[in-house]
Structure 1
Amino acid sequence: MKSHIVVSLLASTILACSAPVFAGQAPFAASAPDIALSSRDRVYAAEQFSNTVSVTDPATNRLVGVIRLGDPQPGNFSPLYKGQVLVHGMGFSPDHRTIAVVSIGSNSVTFIDTTTNLVKHTTYVGRSPHEAFFTPDGKEVWVTVRGEDYVAVLDGKTYEEKTRIKVPNGPGMQIFSPDGKYGYVCSSFTPETLVISVADHQIVGRVAQESPFCPNIAATPDGKQVWFTLKDVGKTQVFNAQPPFNLLKTIDTGPITNHVNFAHNANGTFAYVTIGGLNEVKVFRIDDFSQVATIAVGKLPHGVWPSGDGSRVYVGLENADALAAIDTLSNKVIATIPIGQAPQAVNYVPDAVPAGDGTAGLEPLGVAGQAAHLTLASINETKAGGTPPTSISLFDQGLIQILQASVTGLEPKKPHVLALSSHPDGTGTLELLSAFTTNPAGSAIVNTTGPIRQIVQNDARAERRYLVIAEGTPAQPGRIVQRQILN
C-alpha cells in the first residue's frame, strides 16, 4: 500500500514538473494553476526618462539591476543615436521567456530574453506605439500604434510585422481574452473600444468610451469582464467580455486614473486601479463593483501587475522612481523598491529565470536613480495637505533635468502655466516654463526640460526661483493658484 502511494506521488510530481506552468492570475485564465512567488520570478518596469527596464526580485523585493535600452538627454539628441527613447509599454510571452518593450520616441518594440536580459530583436513600427502584448498562444504580438490608426501584428517567432488591423485613430492598448478568442483595443483619441476576432482580425464588437483618452485595458481571468481606464475624466468602465459586449458599469475613480489589473486570492477576485492624481490605488470587487480598499502608495502610481499567485500586486510610482509591493490580503504596502526614472508599464513574470541568479546582462541603477522631488499646493496652504498636492519630479539627465509635474486640484478645462517666480509666495516676475490645459478632472501631466534643480534649490537667495502654477496663457498669465512648498 505504501509503495503504491509513493509511486502515485512520484508520478504526480513528474507530471507537475513536466506540464506547462501558467499562472491563474491575469492575463491567464482563472482555471490555470497559480505559481507560488519565488526568486525565479521577476518584476519588470519600463522607465521613460532613464530609458531603462528595471528588474526586481519579488521574493526579496530587491532591485537586481537594469537593462539599459538607451541614453538619457542629451546623448539621445544625436542624429547618429541608435538607442531607444521614451521606454514605456510592456508585455510578455506565454512561456515567460520574452518581454516586449515599447519605446514611444523611437517607434520600436524591443524583445528581451528573460534568462539572459539581452536584446534578441528590435522591430520598428509606426509613429508613437504605446503597448505590445503576445496573443495567448504566442503566435502573434499586437502593437497599438497610437500615433496612427492601426494595430501592427508581428509574428510571435520572427518578430517581424506581418499585417495591420485598421482601427479608429489612436489605439491606446490591447489585451486578450484568456481563451485567446478576442482582442480588446481601447483608444486614446477616439471614444470607442473595439473587440477584434484574433482568428481573422475582424472587428466583431464596439464599446462606447465615456471619453476619448483610454491608456489601459485588462480582462478578468474568468473571461467575463473587461475593464478600461479613462485618464482624462478620472473614470473606469467595465463591459461584458462576451457578446453583446455591453457596458456593465462606470466607476468614478479619480484624477489621472492610470492602469487597472486583477488579483485573485482567498477573498475573491479584485480590480486594482492606480489613481495618479491622488497617489492611491483603489481596490474593487469584480462581482458587485464595490470599493473595498484605498491604498496610499506614493507619488503618481502608474503600471500595476499581480504576482503569479495573486498574493502581491506591484505598482510603478512614476514620480517617486519606485516600485510599491502590495499584500493583497491586507491591502497594505509591504515594500517600496527604488528603480529607474518615471516607471510606466509594469509586468510580473512568474518563473522568468528558471536557473541561475538572473543577473547576466544587467547594469547598476547609476544616474537612472537620481532625481529630486518637490510639491506644489494651493496658494492658501503653507504646507502640503488638504487638497491633493501637485507632485514634481526632476529627473537628472547630466547637467539638466526633465521636469514632470502631476498636476491636480485645479479648475477643469482651463489654461494654466507652470512658471518660476522670484518670490516664494509667487509674486514678482514670472519666467514661464510650460503651458497646459487641465483635463475634465482638473488635472494634467506637464513636462519640460532644463537646469531646474539648480535654480529651485539654489543656496543663493538672490538667484533662487520658486515653482508656481498660474491661471491663463503665456501671453496673459493670471493669478497664482499653486506654489512650491518649501522644506
Structure 2
Amino acid sequence: MKTTSSVVTALAVFALAAAQSVLAGQAPGLLADPDIPVSHHDRVYAAEQFSNTVSVTDPADNHLVGVIRLGDPAPASFSPLYRGQVLVHGMGFSPDHHTLAVVSIGSNSVTFIDTQTNAIRHVTYVGRSPHEAFFTPDGKEVWVTVRGENYVDVLDGKTFEEKMRITVPAGPGMQIFSPDGKYGYVCSSFNPEIEVISVADHQIVGKVMQASPFCPDLAATPDGKQVWFTLKDIGKTQVFDAHPPFALLTTIDTGPITNHVNIVHNANGMFAYVTVGGLNQVKVFRTDDFSQVATIPVGNLPHGIWPSGDGSRVYVGLENADMMTAIDTLTNKVIANVAIGQAPQAVAYVPNAVPDGDGTQNIQALGLAGQTIHLALMPAGTGKPGGAANAPTTVTLFDQGLVQVLQAAVTGLQPKQSYVLGFSDKFDGTGNVEPLANFTTNPAGAAIVNALGQIRQVVAPGDATDRDRRRYLVIAPLVSGKPGAVVQIQAL
C-alpha cells in the first residue's frame, strides 16, 4: 500500500508540475502560452551601440556564438559615403520567433534579421532617431517609436514597408502590446505622458501621466493586468492598470539610471525585474503587492533585460561591462557571464530562434568589439584613491581602433547641476583640469556622459619614462564656466 501510495503521489506531483509548465507563459506572450524550456535552439540577442553589432548567445551553455555586424566602429561611420548602421540600440522579435527587428538610432533604420541564418532580410529607413521596434502579437505590423519626432511608424509585418504613422506627443520612447493584442502602450522620453492606442484602428484611447518626462522602457504582464514602466531621469518605476481607465497603481523608488523592466512568471509567482544602472543592480518586485523581494548585484551599468521562454532565467546586458549576465529566477543569483560586444542596450531572448542546425551562418568573431578598458571614479577628499568597489561612477573605454569611445555612468552628484569630466595631472585631482566633456545631472544626481577621441593613451598606465605625462580622470562642478574643486577622482 505504501508503494502504491508513493507512486500515486509521485504521479500527482508530476501532473501538477506539467500543468504548471504548460500554463506559465512569459512576456511578451499570454499567461496561457506554454513555457519553452531552455535549449540550444534558443538565442539571446543584444544590440551593441558602439561596436554596431548584434551579439548572439546560446543560453543552453551560455556561450557566445558570435556577432552579426551591422556597421563599422568610429571613425569609419563619419564618411559621407558610409552605408552601414550607426548606434545599434533597440530590439524586438516576431511572434513566430523567426525575425529580429533591430533599431539603429544614428542611421534611422530598422534592420530585419532571419534568426535561423542570421542574414539581413530587409532594412527600413524611418524618421529621426528611432528607439525601439516591436511586432504586434498577430505579427501583421511592426510599430517603431520615432523618438526624434512625434509619431509611431507602423510597418507592414511581411513587407516591412511603411503603412501609416500614428501621431503622438514628441519623443515616443518605447512601445509594447497587451498580450491579447488589443492595446499598444507607448511611453515618452520627452513628455510625461503614455499613450494607449487601439491596435485595430490606431486611435489613441487613453493616457497615463508619467512622473517625469523620460521613460525608456515598459513591459506588460502576461496575465494582461498591468503595465510597468521605468523613468530613467528620476530613478523610479511606475505601474498602471492595463485596462480602461488605465489608472496608475503605484510608484516605486528604484534608483539612479533606472533602465529597463521585464516580467517573469515562475513557480514562486509573477515578478518584475528592473535594471538599475547607477547601482549596478537588478531589483525584483512582486506584481501582486509590489513588494521588493530581491536585490541582485551585477556588473557595470545593467541595461536591457529579457526572460527565458520558461521563466527560469533572465538575461541582462551590462552596458559598461560588455557582458551578458544570466540570472536564475528561483534563487535570484547570477549563474553566468558571457563576454559580448560594446555597450549592449536592448536585449531579447528568443525561444526556438534556430529550429535546425547550429545557427552559425553569417556570424563573425567578437574581434575589436571585445576590446575595452574599465575604470572607476571615487569621491575626492579621502586621501589616495582606493579600489573600485562600490564606486559611484564607472567608466568604460570602448576601443574603435584609431580612437576610443568613453562612456561614464555617473552617480552621487548634486541634482540638476553642471559638471565637467576631465583630466587632472595629479592623481588626487589637485592639479589643472583639462575638460573632456561637460554635462548636467538629472534629478537623481546621475548622468550618462560620452566622449570620443584618442583617450586610451592618456588614461592607461604608461611605462616608467611616461609616468610624468599621465593624466587622471576627474569630475568637477562648473563654476562660472570653469572647473571648480574636484568631487570625484579616478580609482587606482
Identity of aligned residues (%): 74
Deviation at 1:331, TM superposition (A): 0.1
State the match for 1:73 in structure 2.
74
Match among 439, 444, 447 for residue 442 of structure 2? 439
Q: Does the Cα contact within 8 Å between 2:257 and 2:447 map onto a contact in 1?
A: yes
Residue identity opposite 2:266 in structure 1: N
> What runs of 5+ residues in structure 1 fail to find an aligned partner?
1-20
State the match for 2:452 in structure 1.
449
Q: Does the Cα contact within 8 Å between 2:218 and 2:230 map onto a contact in 1?
A: yes
Deviations 1:88-115 (A, max 9, x none): 0000000000000000000000000000
Q: Does the Cα contact within 8 Å between 1:417 and 1:474 map onto a contact in 2?
A: no
Give, in whole Å, the separation in 1 of the partners of 2:490 and 2:173. 33
TM-score (norm 2): 0.93
Residue identity opposite 2:434 in structure 1: E
Give, in whole Å, the separation in 1 of the partners of 2:436 and 2:24. 47
Mark the CA change 1:61 to 1:386 in structure 2 (over 3 Å): closer, same or farther.
Answer: closer
State the match for 2:296 in structure 1.
295
> What runs of 5+ residues in structure 2 fail to find an aligned partner?
1-21
Q: CA RMSD, aligned part only?
A: 1.2
Query: Where does 1:104-119 land on structure 2 (aligned, <5 Å)?
Result: 104-119=105-120
State the match for 1:137 in structure 2.
138
Q: Does the Cα contact within 8 Å between 1:435 and 1:474 map onto a contact in 2?
A: no
Deviation at 1:383, TM superposition (A): 2.0
Give, in whole Å, the separation in 2 of the partners of 1:178 and 1:347. 17
Deviations 1:421-480 (A, max 9, x none): 011011121110000000010100000011111111133111110000001158221110
Give, in whole Å, the separation in 2 of the partners of 1:400 and 1:295. 34
Match among 439, 455, 462 for residue 468 of structure 2? 462
Mark the CA change 1:378 to 1:306 in structure 2 (over 3 Å): closer, same or farther.
Answer: same
Match among 363, 382, 386 for residue 383 of structure 1? 386
Residue identity opposite 1:120 in structure 2: R
Give, in whole Å, the separation in 2 of the partners of 1:264 and 1:206. 27
State the match for 1:477 in structure 2.
483
Judge which range, 21-30 or 161-170, deviates more.
21-30
Deviation at 1:310, TM superposition (A): 0.2
TM-score (norm 1): 0.94
State the match for 1:393 in structure 2.
396
Judge which range, 467-476 or 321-330, deviates more.
467-476
Give, in whole Å, the separation in 1 of the partners of 2:193 and 2:432. 45
Give, in whole Å, the separation in 2 of the partners of 1:418 and 1:203. 43
State the match for 1:4 in structure 2.
none
Q: Does the Cα contact within 8 Å between 1:258 and 1:302 map onto a contact in 2?
A: yes
Residue identity opposite 2:395 in structure 1: I
Give, in whole Å, the separation in 2 of the partners of 1:327 and 1:194. 34
Deviations 1:208-253 (A, max 9, x none): 0000000001100000000000000000000000011000000000
Q: Does the Cα contact within 8 Å between 1:54 and 1:65 map onto a contact in 2?
A: yes
Q: Are 2:409 and 1:406 aligned?
A: yes
Query: Where does 1:312-391 land on structure 2 (aligned, <5 Å)?
Result: 312-381=313-382, 382-384=385-387, 388-391=391-394
The alignment covers a number of residue pairs equal to: 466
Deviation at 1:22, TM superposition (A): 11
Q: 3-state SS of the aligned residue for 1:479?
A: coil
Deviation at 1:399, TM superposition (A): 2.1
Q: Does the Cα contact within 8 Å between 2:128 and 2:148 map onto a contact in 1?
A: yes
Q: Does the Cα contact within 8 Å between 2:24 and 2:265 map onto a contact in 1?
A: no
Deviations 1:145-171 (A, max 9, x none): 000000000000000011000000100
Give, in whole Å, the separation in 2 of the partners of 1:131 and 1:223. 21
Match among 420, 430, 441 for residue 417 of structure 1? 420
